[in-house]
Amino acid sequence: MKMTIIQRTSLLSDLITEKRKEGVTIGFVPTMGALHAGHLQLIGASGAQCNLTVCSIFVNPTQFNDQNDFLKYPNTREKDIRQLYQSAAGVLFLPSVADIYPVGTGALETYDLGYLDRVLEAAFRPGHFQGVCQVMSRLLGMVQPDRLYMGQKDYQQCMVVRRLLGLLQLPVTLEIQPTLREPDGLAMSSRNTRLQKDQRDKAPLIYRTMLYIQSGLSAGSLRPLKKEATLELENGGFRVDYLEIADAATLEPVEHWNGKTELVVLVAAFLGEVRLIDNMLLNVS
């Protein structure tokens, strides 16, 4: 399939205006590059539902609370482009920081994300979701998609972006795709390439621990199960930021389960200096 690579915002804007006039349905897949099958799944889903799929690659500086993580974020640009040429993407948007933030990143707007900006990822990565909203609001304004494709892998981010769409009153449908995993259960992630061999061997324990939680789930206090699972990860070499079982709809932690509320387990843990996140819906039909 023919794909156009666009770097300048003004050129993207011209193309989108033209496509909108033609009545084309636009699907958007925002990424930070170092593409893997999880990203390509989102592009495939968009390609199946939309006439034009726009993929962006932009490593957004404002969503990194850890400078080291930003500087070490993997960059595989040539390989990304090769993969995209084989995909359903019609446009690859590759903006620079100045294209996205023409007046700099010094005094950016903030978004009222409520509870979502206080718990789990937000608690451990202060400012992260404000950064996500800052970049997403700009990209959505530029791409003007009908549908936005994101991965369940970043569960809280999906909830934040759903809220952002509401705050901005944008008529965009959020399409959440399941987490793609390696054969041993490790969730695919650009950051996995930073794991050393021994860390890579340990990494699937997150998945196995979530499965253990799923099989051990029963009504009543969830505390012993959470404690046991956290210890399991720590014994397996992880430094755990959080392991939480929460209401899948609100992300409120559930200490005492009534046996009915739909639950999600969410984990963030370090192997060395690489931080991995994952989640699993526990009892959602």
Q: Name the residues annotated as catalytic.
A: 39
Contacts 24+ apart (CB under 8 A), 118-121: 119/156, 119/251, 119/253, 120/156, 120/242, 120/244, 120/246, 120/251, 120/266, 120/268, 121/156, 121/157, 121/268, 121/277
Q: Least distance from C-beta 276 to ligand AMP, angstroms?
A: 11
Candidates 27, 38, 47, 145; binder of ligand AMP (CB under 6 A) is 38
Our finding on whether 32 is near ligand AMP (CB under 6 A) is: yes
Amino acid in position 107: A
**Binding flag, residue 91, ligand AMP (CB under 6 A):** no
How far is the C-alpha of 154 from the C-alpha of 118, rounded, in Å?
A: 16
120 binds ligand AMP (CB under 6 A): no
Nearer to ligand AMP, 180 or 206 (CB): 180
Residue spans of alpha helices (H) in 22-76 = 37-49, 67-71
- Does residue 195 bind ligand AMP (CB under 6 A)? no
Does 150 sit near ligand AMP (CB under 6 A)? yes
* Closer CB to ligand AMP, 261 or 270, in the complex: 270
Which residue, 90 or 151, has its beta carbon nearer to ligand AMP? 151
Binding residues vs ligand AMP (CB under 6 A): 31-32, 38-39, 41-42, 150-151, 153-154, 177, 179-180, 187-190
